[in-house]
Chain A
Amino acid sequence: SQQGEEDPQALSIQEGENATMNCSYKTSINNLQWYRQNSGRGLVHLILIRSNEREKHSGRLRVTLDTSKKSSSLLITASRAADTASYFCATYRNTGGFKTIFGAGTRLFVKA
């Protein structure tokens, strides 16, 4: 399977609820990043967590990284309708060159 796979593929919740998205990957990484993409737009960087970190917070976002399980999760607390978007994890490896691999994304729909 591909490096950086998110689940679920789609998630529909009510405004105010929490949304959790997961990402799994295959190879060693230097960091893992989460991005948001609104329909028809570019990707917006949300948060970066390095391979030696286990948890990071940014506002309503909480990201965890478990390098032993090669997995990460993104939690959005108290979701809002404006959080409706696709969310992607991206793994970065420095292998002499540098390459970022994106997963297929989770489509989040927050109902008002």
Chain B
Amino acid sequence: EPEVTQTPSHQVTQMGQEVILRCVPISNHLYFYWYRQILGQKVEFLVSFYNNEISEKSEIFDDQFSVERPDGSNFTLKIRSTKLEDSAMYFCASGTGNNQPQHFGDGTRLSIL
């Protein structure tokens, strides 16, 4: 069964540095999402992406964050000038439609030191 894959599985970065989290969605999916989950807390919506543009973003997704689909397969989340509170699991998801189930990757654990 096709899967959403995320790399790296764990990223450790110094505060203030930039990180890029990578995702390969399922190949025939057109809707893409990023979520984050701080340890022990709920999954929080960051952004949805369709047709090469952001469809909706949450209050968390400020100017520090950006997303890109640089080619036909990858979907990336960039966090500029990371802060300690950015430490979390970041999940990528994809789906076939905006009213359809989302398929999640196993996440990237981001640790900011």
**Residues in chain B near residue A41, CB distance under 8 A:** 106-107
Residue pair B55, A98 in contact (C-beta under 8 Å): yes
Residue pair B101, A98 in contact (C-beta under 8 Å): no
Query: How many Cβ-Cβ contacts under 8 Å join chain A to chain B?
Result: 64
| Complex-state Cα separation, A104 to B37, whole angstroms | 10
Residues of A in contact with B, size category: 20 to 34
Chain B interface main SS type: strand
Residue pair A44, B56 in contact (C-beta under 8 Å): no
Identify which of residues 15-40 in chain A touch chain B, using a CB-to-CB cut-off of 8 Å: 30-31, 33, 35
Residues of B in contact with A, size category: 20 to 34
Nearest-Cβ distance from residue A9 to partner chain B, whole angstroms: 11
Identify which of residues 50-104 in chain A touch chain B, using a CB-to-CB cut-off of 8 Å: 50, 88, 90, 92, 94-104
Q: Does B105 contact A (CB under 8 A)?
A: yes
**Residues in chain A near residue B58, CB distance under 8 A:** 99
| Complex-state Cα separation, A92 to B50, whole angstroms | 16
Residue pair B98, A88 in contact (C-beta under 8 Å): no
| Residue ID in chain A nearest B42 by CB atoms | A104
| Complex-state Cα separation, A94 to B42, whole angstroms | 21
**Residues in chain B near residue A98, CB distance under 8 A:** 31, 48, 50, 55-56, 98-99
A residues near B (Cβ < 8 Å) are 2, 30-31, 33, 35, 41-45, 48, 50, 88, 90, 92, 94-105
A sample of 13 more A-B contacts (CB under 8 A), given A31-B99, A99-B48, is A35-B104, A42-B105, A43-B93, A44-B104, A97-B55, A97-B56, A97-B57, A98-B48, A98-B98, A98-B99, A99-B45, A99-B58, A103-B42
8 pairs of A and B residues whose beta carbons are closest in the complex: A97-B56, A42-B104, A102-B43, A45-B101, A97-B55, A98-B98, A104-B42, A43-B104
